[in-house]
Amino acid sequence: MRKRPVLLGVGISAALIILFLFSMILAGKLLGSKKSIISGEGVGIVEVKGLIVDSREIIEQLHDFRDNQKVKAIVLRIDSPGGVVGPTQEIYEEVRKIAAGKKVVASMGSVAASGGYYIAAPASMIFANPGTVTGSIGVLMKVSNIEGLLGKIGLKSYVLKSGRFKDSGSPVRTMTSEDRDVLQGVIESMHRQFVKAVAEGRKMQVSEVAGIADGRIFSGEQAMGAKLVDRLGNLQAAIAEAGKMAGIKGEPEVIYPPEKRKLWLDLLMEETVERVAGQAKGESGLKINYEMEGF
């Protein structure tokens, strides 16, 4: 009779240990884990996909590869039509600084335009496919106006402001010529910053870049003729060249950042924040991006 409580206790303890180990394995799969062993010298791959709306994860990956002694070069793989000005400039600055000490090769996929090209400009070398859509050096400001719609449904909007330009770009009132001049001045300033960044990154004259910085897009082949791209080739060609530039003998090992899988609650919270932020931006009626229209 006395053996039964002992056996029961052992059984419960074993079950708890198994449950704990299972939970640890499940948590590791959900949260992701870093690639533990790099057998040789390799090339790190940092991917930029879709609209650029935040720079933190990309910069973190760049820094991880910069500090990893076994990662001898970095390939920045870009499939992006651009995005928000601030994050785009932050990524550009980190690429510029890292490229001064470790080779960074940009590899353009289907599209690397506007802000997507901006972040490629300071790379040690830029690869594009012949049919890559790139260029689009310019600034895009979108201003919505729903004043007429509100009038039709009998709604009025009242704005209290501390200065006459505080609501410039408001969707509920007509834009004045003074508003237009102020907003155009902002666009011109950001455009000059873009042109200067490309000129510095590509070691071109500002006037030379300004001549093609009218928002036009280029194929990869055309971009090479305009000195915006160094070579035509796919991702594998960019990886091979990065390894060669870094002095790696033979085929370099390809290293990707650890995959960060998130719990459903984290994904739900992020989705909610993005929706609220998107709605807030939409209500402002004003968007300024290094972004190619139509993507």
Catalytic residues: 114, 166
Cα separation of 106 and 238, whole Å? 7
Structure tokens at 232: 């035509």
Cα separation of 98 and 81, whole Å? 23
Bridge partners of residue 78, in order along the sequence: 48, 108
User: Could you tell me how far CA 254 lies from the centroid of its own chain?
Assistant: 21
Structure tokens at 83: 């995005």
- Exposed, middle or buried, 161 (CB in 10 Å: 0-12/13-18/19+)? exposed
End-to-end CA gap in the chain:
75
CB 147 within 8 A of CB 174: yes
CB 113 within 8 A of CB 136: yes
CB 72 within 8 A of CB 246: yes
Cα separation of 291 and 135, whole Å? 11
Count of residues in the chain: 295
CB 119 within 8 A of CB 95: yes
> What are the φ and ψ backbone dihedral angles of 68, each rounded to 5 degrees?
-85, 115
The type of residue at 157 is S
